[in-house]
Amino acid sequence: MENSTSLCSPRMLKGFRDTFTQEYLARRWLVNNVQKVYERYGFAPIETPALEYVDVLGKYLPECDTAEEGIFSFRDLDREWIALRYDLTAALARLVALYPELPKPFRRYQLGLVWRDEKPGLARFREFYQLDIDTVGCASMQADAEVCAVICDALTSLGFVVGEYQVKVSNRKILNGVLEKAGIDSLDSKGNLTEIGLTALRAIDKLDRIGLRGVMELLGPGRKDESGDFTKGAGLNSDQIIWIEKFLQIQAKSREQFCKELDALVGSTVIGKQGIDELLQIDQFLSAVGYTNSQVVFDPTIVRGLSYYTGPVFETVLTIPYHDEHGNERHFGSIFSGGRYDGLVERFLGYKVPATGASIGVDRLLEAMKCLGRINMPKATAQVLITSMDSQLMPEYQKLAFELRRAGICTELFMEKAGLKKQLKYADQWDIPLAIIVGSNEVSQHKVTIKDLRKGRELASEIKDRDEWRRSQPAQVIVDREALISTVQQMLAN
């Protein structure tokens, strides 16, 4: 035996996962459904590399000659800084800039792994899938409204009904209007967010976690959480905070009503007015095609990722709660988010290219659906296991297997030497629904035995006498060899 200290430990990077069949099939089902919805709107699939130059991703720090934290980066043979992509949007901007001849609007969707070198947590990984949809080169609010509609349709295709999800929409221009109204310089001369504006937006973004009072503390001097940690605030005065509080507390029965309330608050600022107009246009489209206020709602507390959004922002939540291991009621985080980013391509081309889109957190949504019992996938693809208890009969088993496969039935043949008991247990462990048993008895009578393991499992609770149970075998049938395929098809069907 090797000394155990000389063995290599099969360890794995934290925040990375192996995906087994059950989860793989569930993800494939989810992705297929959503992609079909995307295509129904005329979006087309593309793919881009996993690696990009760090400066293209916008993450190069020239003064340090290194990449920003939070991304996986390294140098290649040419000593160039490159990195694994942390989202799909940066690559889309690069793509649009690299192929200016692409007819606009350019409407694409993309499924891909992205990587972030951050602290992993509950349903937070360092490698995960995103499934993005974007329209590039269309400034109309109809494109933004369409994104909301796509989100609703995608969730519908996964079995969610109205009332189980909510697309929350706000607009960065409104937030800027509120800050302006409160006398906060949120934008500098180039239109970028200032430090104080950034801190204020971060505070607002935390509303769902720390509550209104927590947000107010963060807007003012700062906040101490229950662990005793202190977070420095934005240092706003109470008059300024009241403006923001008024804004956050807007509640309206409808999107239109929300815009009215908003108008009273920030309609007097140019940027705020613009933001309200944009929301009204989105409402117009959505209302015209029947997306109700319970599906898409205007919500002042939505902020989204801090830098590149320039207009409407979206965030989708599941309104169904779930219960954690302690029995506490909890809610899933945002599963489908995005917004308008008219400035992203400007970095490459020198002029603005309007763009809007959204991204599904595939793994997070999958996790939620698993929690809710909305996805149930088998552990294996085989529907039938042909047991082999007599090696002399192997040619016959092979024939059975190929007949079933030619009929389109996923079939596995047990090839190892093992007792029937072990083989049936194997089928049971992998959730294979049917087992075929053929021994000398069956061969001499030109029959096959087909055992329904799912049905057997159900009936097992009624077992009283084992011998009796074994003699009667209620979950299996013996049929003519010729009737194999039709019987299997019939048994799989119900």
State the residues that interact with RNA by CB under 7 A. 4-5, 14, 57-59, 68, 70-71, 86-87, 116, 118-122, 202, 206, 209-210, 225-229, 231, 305-308, 389, 419-422, 424-425, 428-429, 437-442, 449, 451-460, 463, 466, 469-470, 473, 475-476
| Beta-bridge partners for 136 | 106, 355
- Shortest Å, Cβ 467 to RNA: 9
- Shortest Å, Cβ 246 to RNA: 23
What is the distance between the alpha carbons of residues 182 and 204, in angstroms, rounded to a whole number? 14
Confirm if 107 and 44 have CB atoms less than 8 A apart. Answer: yes
- Shortest Å, Cβ 307 to RNA: 3
Nearer to RNA, 80 or 225 (CB): 225
Nearer to RNA, 220 or 267 (CB): 220
What is the distance between the alpha carbons of residues 8 and 5, in angstroms, rounded to a whole number? 8
Nearer to RNA, 377 or 418 (CB): 418
- Shortest Å, Cβ 199 to RNA: 7
What is the distance between the alpha carbons of residues 330 and 318, in angstroms, rounded to a whole number? 11
Per-residue burial over 307-321, b = 16 or more CB atoms within 10 Å of its CB, e = otherwise: ebbbbbbbbbbbeee
What is the distance between the alpha carbons of residues 240 and 203, in angstroms, rounded to a whole number? 14
- Shortest Å, Cβ 388 to RNA: 12
Q: Virtual CA dihedral for 62, 66, 70, 71, nearest 10 degrees?
A: 100
Angle of the 362-371 helix axis to the 21-40 helix axis, nearest 10: 120
What is the distance between the alpha carbons of residues 139 and 142, in angstroms, rounded to a whole number? 8
Nearer to RNA, 156 or 231 (CB): 231
Rg (CA), the chain: 29
Nearer to RNA, 267 or 439 (CB): 439
Nearer to RNA, 107 or 451 (CB): 451
Nearer to RNA, 163 or 222 (CB): 222
- Shortest Å, Cβ 383 to RNA: 14
- Shortest Å, Cβ 330 to RNA: 9
What is the distance between the alpha carbons of residues 397 and 400, in angstroms, rounded to a whole number? 5
What is the distance between the alpha carbons of residues 317 and 305, in angstroms, rounded to a whole number? 16
What is the distance between the alpha carbons of residues 203 and 301, in angstroms, rounded to a whole number? 10
- Shortest Å, Cβ 13 to RNA: 9
| Token duo for residue 398 | 């092979």
Closest to 276 (Cα-Cα) out of 295, 292, 240, 252: 252
Nearer to RNA, 146 or 442 (CB): 442
